[in-house]
Structure formats: C-alpha cells, structure tokens
Amino acid sequence: AVTPTIEAKIQKGFLSSDRVWTCYRRNYIAVSVSFRLNPWIANGRLYLNQGGSRWPEQIQSMAMSLSAAVDGVSKKSIELIQCTPKRSQLPMKKKLLSPTPPGKSHNDHTYGIGSFHTTTAMAGPRLPLQTEVGQPYQYTFERIQFESATANNGKRWARQQHYHLVVELWANVQNLQEPRWVKIATRSSPPVVVIGRSPCYFPKEGPRIAGAQSPDFPPDTCPSLQSAELERSIRYITMTHQSPSSEQGETMSLLAPESLKRKKGNWNYVAS
C-alpha cells in the first residue's frame, strides 16, 4: 500500500512544567513539517479513490497545514495566528510540499522555505501543479501564536483544559483556479497547556552563560505522539499510481482509521 507518513517537530516555544508541555500564549512557536510516501513512486501519477460511485481522481498537488484543537470529544478548533517579522498577522494557509525523497531526513533545526528541495537525480511522483524546479519538501510554520489560552489553568476545583497542535496532509484533485482539497491524513501532538499569564509562571532558570545555547530536551522526556489518523469522514481511501510504461494504475490502499490507531510514533520537541 502507498501509505503517507507525516513527520513534525516543534522547534521552539514549549517547555515541560510539572510533566506537562506548556507555552506562554504571546510567545512564538515554530513547527516544522514534512511527509513521506511508502513506497516511493518515481515519475508515476498518484490517484485518490474515495470509493462509492466516484472514479479515481488524479492528485494534482499536495500540501500540509497546521491547526489546533481542544483535547476531548468536541475537538473544537482553536485559532492560530501567524505573524510577520513586523508583527502584522497573516492567515494560516496550506503549504505546497513534495514528499521527502528516500535518504533524506527530517531536519532537527529550523530552516527556511527553500532550504530543502527535490533534485533531478531523485525523481518523485508526478504532481502536475507542482512542477516548479526546487519544490521544497520540508517547511517550518514560524512565528505562530495561540489566539487564546487554555481554560482553568492552575485551578484545583476545575478540570484543566488542554489543546493539541494538528498537522494535516491534503491532496488537491482539481485545478489551480478552483482547487478541491481532500484531507488524507492527520497527526496530533500530545496535550499541551497554553497560559495567558506572565512567563514568570515557568520555573526559574539557572544563571545564564554568555554565548551558551539552550539544551535540547533529552529524548527520554519527549512525549509520545498519537498515531496518524485518516480523516474520519473518509473511511476507506485508496491511493493509486500509474507508471509511464503502464496503462493501468496499481492500486495501493491506505489503512482505515482503526488500523492506523494501533501504530505508534514520536513527536519530538527541540528547545529554542
């Protein structure tokens, strides 16, 4: 089966307080994202089959997005704000990305939009609307803020509210002028707390040393990630590819949500 795998890392903005990942609402966070397709399809077309009466539709482009939701059954959406260097606000948009080529790894540090791209030596799947040379395969959502803090922070008589950061993978099966995006996979962070109080809420740090960098969180303290899930409204999705020398596409089924939930992964946190 051709299976999409989302990779994501929070580059900065969080620290562990009382074994809970916590951030200050006004601080910037950065999340780097990428995805893989297994097996790798070189110079092949990708098709999305949602079942029912629809014919398989060719995937024209693929993109990733970042959002947030309340922990729990409701999964209420939480607004994220992206700021420019001059602190003006931008709308959160999907970012066109190519799948990560074999042999390339998800970088451990913050990088710019054009830092990672496919090369002519490693041809990827055919995405008609992503023909730009040097199409990036990794991206960092930078200068992100939560619009609101979690409820009941520090209150003993009320249940603490938590948020999740959610990375989503999308496939466009229409054209550039009127794209039709279908969500094919999601990945969520562990529960996090967002405080609206002063950063003095955090534990005090030791003496600062000139030129010293903040250490990374030890790997054994990184929280585990919930398994990647397919969008629930699309129970079974089939992705197919067609090689240039073949007239019929080879069908590759994606797993149903119940199967994906049994998989485990890690969402790594890196201190700024």
The Cα 223–Cα 191 span in angstroms is 9
The Cα 187–Cα 167 span in angstroms is 5
Instruction: Determine the pLDDT at residue 198.
Output: 63
Taking 3-state DSSP, the helix, strand and coil percentages for the chain, each rounded to the nearest 5, stand at 5, 40, 60
- Mean pLDDT value of segment 37-48: 84
User: Does the pLDDT value for residue 252 go beyond 90?
Assistant: no
- Tell which wins on pLDDT, 26 or 105: 26
User: Does the pLDDT value for residue 158 go beyond 80?
Assistant: yes
Name the pTM for this structure: 0.70
Determine the 3-state secondary structure of 225 from DSSP. strand
Domains of the chain as residue ranges with CATH = 3-200+218-269 (2.60.40)
- Tell which wins on pLDDT, 8 or 249: 8
The Cα 110–Cα 73 span in angstroms is 33
User: Does the pLDDT value for residue 195 go beyond 50?
Assistant: yes
pLDDT band for position 74 (50/70/90)?
confident
Backbone angles phi, psi at 221, to 5 degrees: -100, 0
Mean of per-residue pLDDT scores for the chain: 70
Instruction: Determine the pLDDT at residue 122.
Output: 57
User: Does the pLDDT value for residue 181 go beyond 70?
Assistant: yes
- Tell which wins on pLDDT, 197 or 11: 11
